[in-house]
Structure 1
Amino acid sequence: MVIDEQFDVVVAGGGPSGITAAIASARSGAKTLLIEKYGFLGGMATNALVGPLQTFHAGEKQIAKGIGEEVIQRLKQIGGTPGHVRDMIGFVPTVTPVDVEKLKYIYQEMAEESDVKLQLHTVVTGVELKEEGTLKALQLYNKSGHYKVQAKVFIDCTGDGDVVAMAGVPYEKGRPKDGLAQPMSMMFRMGKVNLEKVKEYMRNNPDDFVLAKDWDSFPMVAVSGFFSLVKKAKEEGRFTIDRDRVLLFELPTEGEVSVNMTRVIRYDATDGQALSKAEIISRRQVMEVVQFLQRDVPGFEEAILINCGTQIGVRESRRIIGEYVLTGEDVVTGRKFDDVIALGSYPIDIHAPDGDEINVIQMEPGTIYDIPYRSILNKEVPNLLVAGRCLSATHEALASARVTPTAMLVGQAAGTAAAIAVHEEQLPRNISIEKLQQSLRKQECYLTEKEIEES
């Protein structure tokens, strides 16, 4: 097995958290490698079409900035997003629709400009640990064969916590009572949708939808409803999926929508056979949903299926048991921490692991909670950080912290921390939290509500 060049920081996984981690690390002067299993970056947002991104705001305040906001502004310049727009459903203050192909481009350009070395089409197959328990190298595989890379600090941004599991770091999966995780969903795009006809039906049948106040004045269509049409199709045996509503969002291209209606329950995304079965089931469900929309839903009579995600969307899999486990109570009460590295405000949004409901624990409007640095550290492998949905959180807390804007913030913090640890020749847990926070503020990341108000 050939040893590749030595890096300061190696990031596994090129999703939103991995991209921001790698960019932040490289911009901080660390020699950084980003490993991604697909031929493009973006994670769930691009390979699974999970969108729109939500939410960058808490009430009227924008809490998510930094590299994530830089991505949106650059995407906006090339017509890949209208930016942050008000949510017609009223579930969150704003949503951010994106053109995923342009998002792939912006991500790779920002990574390249920041001197991140990209290694695409590459998977992690194993780890090498030193006697004292630190991580020495990742074993990788791609078209060139098997090889390994060494680094001083590693960041697991695989989403599924693959490096964490290989390194022997304790983790949890799913909800406490039975280990079932939130269902997986195959997202897909449809075109030639008559959105004016959709809105006309909504105006005439408002009780059949979840709607924000003054929704009809909002610039982008979002639908959570058509409950009666779904119920009728179920009663007639034409709709068999564990979904109680039509859920879709308008995309930047005219007449195109992103549909989130498939639901594969009781399958484990970290089990190879289960994941394969979930993919098969989900694509069958896509065809059933498309037929339902075309037959039953006004505005979809002439609509066409454009594409499905490259892979099924995963909401939840492994979560590390870190130095601190973020709780649902922390989220809903807006708890503050001295070692805060990112802010969150998305509601606790649990898609039932064994049914068709969406269970939401709403917070007071504008509630902002802290994510502590300890939630990306673990006690077993001291030079391994995490970011994204495998951070240390309960089943309930992850249902909020898993969303893309939050993942990008945590990734940026992880990458910055890794670079500081390299420069100071320290383990990540031993760096100055004040220095990390100061660096994040210089990168235009908010860490307190006072900073938001003063901006």
Structure 2
Amino acid sequence: MYQVNFARSISSGIFLGFILLGYTVAGQQIGTAYEADVIIYGGTSGAVTAAVQVVRSGKKVIVVSPDKHLGGLSAGGLGFTDTGNKSVIGGLAREFYHRVYNHYQTDEAWVWQKKNEYGNKGQGTPAMDGTERTMWIFEPHVAEKVFEDFVKENNITLYRDEWLDRKNGVEKENGIIIAFKTLSGKTFKGKMFIDATYEGDLMAAASVKYHIGREANRVYNEEWNGIQPEVFQHGHYFKKNVSPYKIEGDPKSGLLPYISPEQIGKKGDGDNKIQAYCFRMCLSSSPDNRIPFAKPAGYDPKKYELLARVYKAGWTETFDKYDDIPNKKTDTNNHGPFSTDYIGMNYDYPDATYERRKEIIKEHESYQKGLMYYLSNDTNVPADVREKMNVWGLARDEFKDNGGWPHQIYVREARRMIGMGIMTENETLGKKPVSQPIGMGSYSLDAHNAQLYVKADGFVQNEGDIGVHPKQPYSISYESIVPKKAECQNLFVPVCLSSSHIAYGSIRMEPVFMILGQSAATAAVMAIDKKIPVQDVDYGQLKEQLLKDKQKLEL
């Protein structure tokens, strides 16, 4: 009876949509209304793999992307892939890395460097794996081309620069999304929907519950989730005493920029803070392909006084995360106590308006461009650092329409759904079994700093940097990508999935988003064929298909 009611609800909602929007034939576009079996919101790597899977499963799909460029962080500067254990990366994700491998087998790929000059170093694995015919380290434009090829080869209908109307755009009836509208006036109707954005905007607009910030450890019986003062598991902390005050040692002079005046909370307690964002810059050391670091508008060297004091204290690790990618370029990431992470300046991003998000992104860009100029020019920076920094610059042949600057900010964490099931550190660390696996993760529980604060002894410190390694790869449950049935019955959320903060620190890797995007699409097709809610998909049948598609589900 329930399956019949679900099918009737979908059919009646779509029929109503045809009348309201002027449809005369199913699947035909009239005016500003568009229809497909599955509507995917987002332009991330997970969105593209989901779309490919829908098409290969014989259904119609439309990708509605707020982004102009496809691939999210995979094509936005994160070329030094966070693989973890690469043996658990299967399906379309592995196909992506195989296509990258094929690209770098051609002579044309090596413009600024000979292939035999490239060091072939990856994260715990060779960059180029000849045995598996995969390549895990790559330039941004190469990744973007692979995603664009996926779209072209599968004739995927794609609308770019289309932004969900988050206030009034979701049409929902009896727990079922009928359609959503974008700010341009377009309406997209479907039987199933997939939110593959980093922010979870469709999920939130569909009134699905979610969480922002760090849960207290007691919520899910965890150890590494909440506030973590004096816990240092990477090198991103102040190893020597540094004064936080404008006049060193004088609290009355006020705090330097970016340092929180709040007293640190108790270890293990929850808060609304999220780990820091940054841009993963693609830098070049080739003189003919380098854009020197320019002084940005509004540049103020006083904003980087804290870094000057770090150098004064003897810090020497400036270039430790200039990870080599092909053609004399880097994927440059945050490293050390004061670096590209704009700590504490993103708390309002997940729920912020589009306008406010643009401001936050611009603030991050200004901070980071100012940092690079400071490192290249300011006399408070050691001379050897300045000299080496001036060998680097933005890569001229990357992000050409944006002056060499990445088009995607690294949204490490935003909203996280509270779904049918919740992945916690207990599942990722192997303390609890996972039922109904649809993919695997293996990377460390990796959270960047969430705040700069003043310790009781009057010195500055970072807080929130965690790096706990699972003993072995772990499974990710189907229940973590679907909402509770009472909230929505035809939505999948493979990126802002249901997870605690610290478990998300491992799951949030780009290969995993591709894996979960594909699995979500497979389940969406099954739900359409059976005319059932996503919560009622037969896992046995889903598992069978996922294995046919070469997904890795469990050890």
Assess same fold via TM > 0.5: yes
Q: How is 1:22-421 mapped onto 2 (pairs within 5 angstroms)? A: 22-47=51-76, 49-55=77-83, 57-58=84-85, 62-79=87-104, 85-87=121-123, 96-126=136-166, 127-141=169-183, 145-176=184-215, 177-192=270-285, 233-235=308-310, 246-260=320-334, 261-266=339-344, 267=346, 268-270=348-350, 271-272=352-353, 274-291=356-373, 293-294=375-376, 295-297=383-385, 299-306=388-395, 307-333=404-430, 335-355=432-452, 356=462, 359-365=465-471, 367-379=472-484, 380-388=487-495, 390-421=496-527
Q: Counterpart of 1:404 in structure 2: which amino acid?
A: E
Partner of 1:205: none
After superposition, the C-alpha distances for 1:378-414 in whole angstroms (9 at most, x for unaligned) are: 12011011111x1000011111101101111111100
Gaps of 5+ in 1: 195-229, 450-455
CA distance in structure 2 between the aligned counterparts of 1:23 and 1:284, rounded to whole angstroms? 36
CA distance in structure 2 between the aligned counterparts of 1:336 and 1:116, rounded to whole angstroms? 37
Larger radius of gyration: 2
Aligned to 2:525, what secondary structure does the other structure show? helix
1:147, distance to aligned residue in structure 2 (A): 1.7
TM-score, normalization: structure 1? 0.80
Aligned to 1:308, what secondary structure does the other structure show? coil
CA contact (8 A) 2:93 2:511 kept: yes
CA distance in structure 1 between the aligned counterparts of 2:124 and 2:481, rounded to whole angstroms? 34
Gaps of 5+ in 2: 1-20, 22-30, 111-117, 216-269, 288-304, 377-382, 396-403, 453-461
CA contact (8 A) 1:339 1:373 kept: yes
CA contact (8 A) 1:38 1:120 kept: yes
CA contact (8 A) 1:182 1:316 kept: yes
Q: Counterpart of 2:81 in structure 1: which amino acid?
A: L
Q: 1:191 to 1:130 in 2, by over 3 A?
A: closer
CA contact (8 A) 1:26 1:116 kept: yes
RMSD (CA atoms): 3.2
CA contact (8 A) 2:79 2:139 kept: no
Number of residue pairs aligned between Structure 1 and Structure 2: 401
1:51, distance to aligned residue in structure 2 (A): 3.5
Q: Percent identity among equivalent residues? A: 25
1:376, distance to aligned residue in structure 2 (A): 0.7
Aligned to 2:451, what secondary structure does the other structure show? coil
Aligned to 1:123, what secondary structure does the other structure show? coil
CA distance in structure 2 between the aligned counterparts of 1:414 and 1:19, rounded to whole angstroms? 12
CA distance in structure 2 between the aligned counterparts of 1:256 and 1:24, rounded to whole angstroms? 32
CA distance in structure 2 between the aligned counterparts of 1:53 and 1:102, rounded to whole angstroms? 13
Q: Counterpart of 2:174 in structure 1: which amino acid?
A: E
Q: Counterpart of 2:371 in structure 1: which amino acid?
A: V
Q: Counting strand residues as a fraction of each chain, which structure ranks higher?
A: 1
Given candidates 428, 447, 453, the residue that maps to 2:534 is 428
TM-score, normalization: structure 2? 0.66
CA distance in structure 1 between the aligned counterparts of 2:119 and 2:481, rounded to whole angstroms? 29
1:121, distance to aligned residue in structure 2 (A): 1.8
1:364, distance to aligned residue in structure 2 (A): 4.7
